[in-house]
Structure 1
Amino acid sequence: MAEEVSEIALSKQDLRAVTAFAAACAEVVLDIFEADRPEDRRPRDAIGAAWEFARGGERGKALRDTAWAALKAAKSADSAAACEAARAAMAAAGAAYLHPLAKATQVKHILGAGAHAARAAELVAGDDRSVGVERVERVERVGQAVRGASPAVIDVLKRFPAAPAGGGRTGELIRLLDDDLRGR
């Protein structure tokens, strides 16, 4: 028998707030990818598409295509840090596609960009885990300052179950960010 999953009410404004938060998180580590692959604009384009949607644009094929392109850029990166920075860009564009399903895995759409950005910063610092924790704290502060998105993002986040287990270090950072934001 299939498990029934309840739906969560999400407005277009909710999706725009989550996407703005994700774009702001990814934007701060874009330079890590661009230092590795300066000719590759795919992550920058994904973040740009995320901002366009967050500011009132439509959610459509271009947004999806830039997310997939950023993922391909991540796979072509020469360093693990650049890979994580590109994944943050992919997650920013993908945030617009948060599904209204009461499933813990959907939290990755909300917090994935912040967690990948924190992981990129850790890797640049020689895999220093304290840098990731500090970056998660910075992500929280960014959320407060980004066009008033934080209260809206926290409200959306709290509609979903807590972040799921697994996912390696990025999963740990998602859960850390999830716990901190829900605790406000």
Structure 2
Amino acid sequence: MTHPMVIAVAAVSGGGKTTITEKLKERLPGAEALFFDTYEFEGAPENITEWVEKGPDYNQWNLDPLIQDIQSTKSASFLILDYPFSYKHDKLKVWIDYSVYIHTPLDIAMARRLLRDGEGLSVKGELTYYLNDGREAYVEMLQSIKPDADLVVDGTLSVENIVEHIIKNLPSEHH
């Protein structure tokens, strides 16, 4: 194999992408991981809510830095991407071999996000924003990203069970 099997892990914010990506990296032999949130992308919308309201154009994001890192990862057996868009970006989708969507109920994802990012945030402000604007972006993920995934996993399962389910469902030549 000239390049690793690339597994994209998608979910809403707070849905478990980073945790599952890290655990898969530990469990899959020779695995490496890349995390979407560590990049600054040209063309990224300043206001996600407005971007969703206009009809999100996933190709608006210049994902070349991430694509270059995928291309330069050759020695790994698996490359796990903590990446929210699954197959929606035309230039990146050709590098994804398998896409997993973690279907986490929106209330659980919001609670996790508040716990993760909560220090210094106003809980009332965050919930008000979510109800008035942000929820639309979460629903967009459910409507556009989830249906494209090769595997949908119940985000209410334990981390261990989610990882086992993903590994068990990888194409057989890879595990």
Could you say which TM-score interval applies, normalised by the shorter chain? Answer: 0.3 to 0.5
Q: When the two structures are superposed, what TM-score results if normalisation uses the length of structure 2?
A: 0.32
Q: When the two structures are superposed, what TM-score results if normalisation uses the length of structure 1?
A: 0.31
Q: Which has the larger radius of gyration?
A: 2
Higher relative contact order structure (alpha carbons within 8 Å, sequence separation ≥ 6): 2
